[in-house]
Structure 1
Amino acid sequence: MRHIRVVSFGFGHEPPPKAEILLDVREVLSNPFDDIELRELTGLDERVRQHVLDTPGAIGLLRNVAATASALAADAQKPVTVAWGCSGGRHRAVALAEETAALVWASGANIVDVQHRDMDKPLLTPQEVQA
């Protein structure tokens, strides 16, 4: 049975969740927070999703992560967890978690669970993220 859990989270809120695959995209993908028109939205909004996916390297990273998760889950006796982390867990991580879930589902996973741990928490200021 291929059971995959996908979690989005923000490093600025709590420690990362336990996961077989843990990704930190704070330094590698464009941050929608920096665009005032996107700041209050989440990774579930199409404009934010597209902003994240348009970042060079994002699609390739997604495909590689989904393939790795699927391969790990093929013989696993328990769910395989993929955790995407960004600064606040509201934009990049959410969009990437949703896309990962869609890719692993399409690849034949039996069960795909998605959790957005920090999406509904308040926005973090740049100073809070650095702390």
Structure 2
Amino acid sequence: MNVLITSFGYLHGEAPEAHVTLDLRHHFRDPHVSPELRYMTADDRPVREAVLRTPGILPLIDATAAAVRAYQAGPSTGPVTVAVGCAGGRHRAATVARTLASVLRDESEGLRVVVADRDLSRPVVQR
């Protein structure tokens, strides 16, 4: 594997160790606040569309892809790890992680990108 991307929710535990960590909690609207999206996940199209329409998300994904390429260009070998977190790990983090993986795969033929959704299947956090 060349790149490991882990999505997670800060409310379920600490961020996994990574070269690059994205914290989406404070700057990007949480789909959890919309009752119709609350019990859905990044597996559902309405959630993905809501997250990807959020101002700033696509430039952040592009910037993160550039950071991954910079790590890969360095003199050391080994996988690059990216952690993408939001409150519960079911909406923003998982959508951004999967979209980042898709961008990286499209840019680099033969690049192995693995996505692990640590908290996607956990129950909705009631706030």
TM-score, normalization by structure 1: 0.90
RMSD over aligned CA atoms reads 1.3
Letter aligned with residue 59 of structure 1:
L
The aligned residue for residue 100 of structure 1 is 100
- Count residues with an aligned counterpart: 125
The aligned residue for residue 113 of structure 2 is 112
Q: CA deviation at 1:71?
A: 2.0
The aligned residue for residue 82 of structure 1 is 82
| Distance in 1 (alpha carbons) for counterparts of 2:52 and 2:111 | 25
Asked if residue 121 in structure 1 is aligned to residue 118 in structure 2, the reply is no
Taking the TM superposition and a 5 Å limit, the aligned residue runs for 1:1-131 are 3-75=2-74, 76-108=76-108, 110-126=111-127
Cα deviation 1:72-113 (Å, max 9, x = unaligned): 123441110111000011100000000000011111062100
Letter aligned with residue 42 of structure 1:
T
| Distance in 2 (alpha carbons) for counterparts of 1:100 and 1:70 | 12
SS at 1:81's partner residue? strand
Q: CA deviation at 1:44?
A: 2.2
| Distance in 2 (alpha carbons) for counterparts of 1:5 and 1:44 | 19
Q: CA deviation at 1:30?
A: 1.1
TM-score, normalization by structure 2: 0.93
SS at 2:5's partner residue? strand
SS at 1:37's partner residue? helix
